[in-house]
Amino acid sequence: MFGFFESERDPEVAGALLDAAESWLRERQRDRMVGPLDFSTNHECGLLVEGHEFKPQILENWHHPYYRELLEGHGMTKSMDLYKWEIMEAARANRFPVIDDLADSLEPEHGIRLRRMRKRNLRAEVRGFMEVYNEAWSTNWGFVPLTDAELDHLAKELKPVLDEDFACVAETSDGEVAGVSLSLPDFNQVLARLNGRLLPLGWLRALREQRRINEIRVFALGVKPAYQHTGVAAALYRDVWDACGRRSMWRAETGWILETNEAMNRAMEALTGQIIKRYRIYERLFDTD
């Protein structure tokens, strides 16, 4: 893998960076280079190839349009595309009725209820998220299991921006976590207004500006395989939409969804979504002899 790619618009500069990465991989008997992945599919990944006109949301990368020509000019070819879908709160009435039907039957038919994540018990909540993530995403292309070290880092990273209204757990009657939904208010809106100045009084403005955030990023939404037939996903989708209504969020963007993930992409269509950004993971094969 390679990641954190940054370059001026100069094929020689980009080529030197990519050749150095390839040389490192060859020394370790690898036969291809895949990226950009910063550090894996659990983090920022892919090169933005469509949707440059949209501002990046929290924990989302953005790239100059010419990066594509630099990578492709160096022989990198497409390995996988990732989609970001836009869902507008105003389109709520147009969603497929089956979403509500499945959500309404979740507790009476399957004994599964929704509750809010508890920020005061964040590490335990993130561990429940990790269990779902490592089961629900395990068959996805490029999947890398979350580790305990990543779990600790994730809890620390999320705590300042986590809003319980957008963090939901689907739980069985005996307390097992069946699914999770974690959305993040787009704190990038606040950071842009601060222009990088937190001191001396920027942090006060940040607290005030938080109330003006009007977009969210659906960071992760997943269901354990054993419960994917129960309507947990539909209930979590509706919960996100309900939270947007309560908090006057006018739009949401999903996290990265593989182009090959037909179930999730169909679900986004059922929720009236539109693909607005496309990220591409490239690869290059080479001879290790």
pLDDT in tens, the chain (289 residues): 999 999 999 999 999 999 999 999 999 999 999 999 998 988 899 999 999 999 999 989 999 999 999 999 999 999 999 999 999 988 888 989 999 999 999 999 999 999 999 888 888 888 888 899 999 988 899 999 988 888 888 888 888 888 999 999 999 999 999 999 999 999 888 888 887 777 776 767 777 778 889 999 999 999 999 999 999 999 999 999 999 999 999 999 998 999 999 999 999 999 999 999 999 999 999 876 6
| Inter-residue contact 183 to 216 (CB < 8 Å) | yes
Query: Do 133 and 266 reside in the same domain of the chain?
Result: yes
Work out the angle at residue 164's Cα, subtended by the Cα atoms of residues 162 and 168, and round it to the nearest 5 degrees: 110
Q: How many domains does the chain have?
A: 2
Helix axes 148-158, 122-136, angle to 10 degrees: 120
Query: Do 72 and 92 reside in the same domain of the chain?
Result: no
Residues for the chain: how many in total?
Answer: 289
| Inter-residue contact 202 to 113 (CB < 8 Å) | no
3-state secondary structure of 54: coil
Helix then strand count (H, E) for the chain reads: 9, 12
Query: Do 148 and 57 reside in the same domain of the chain?
Result: no
Residue 224: give its domain's CATH number. Answer: 3.40.630.30
Query: Do 99 and 68 reside in the same domain of the chain?
Result: no
Backbone angles phi, psi at 39, to 5 degrees: -110, -25
Tell me the residue range of the domain where 77 lies: 11-82+281-285
Query: Do 23 and 126 reside in the same domain of the chain?
Result: no
- The pTM for the full model equals 0.91
| Residues forming beta bridges with residue 34, ordered by sequence position | 283
Query: Do 175 and 60 reside in the same domain of the chain?
Result: no
Query: Do 260 and 165 reside in the same domain of the chain?
Result: yes
Report if residue 121 sits inside a domain.
yes
CA–CA separation, 38 and 59 (whole Å): 11
Strand segments (E) across 93-228: 113-116, 167-171, 177-185, 215-223
Report if residue 139 sits inside a domain.
yes
Report if residue 4 sits inside a domain.
no
Structure tokens at 138: 């395990």
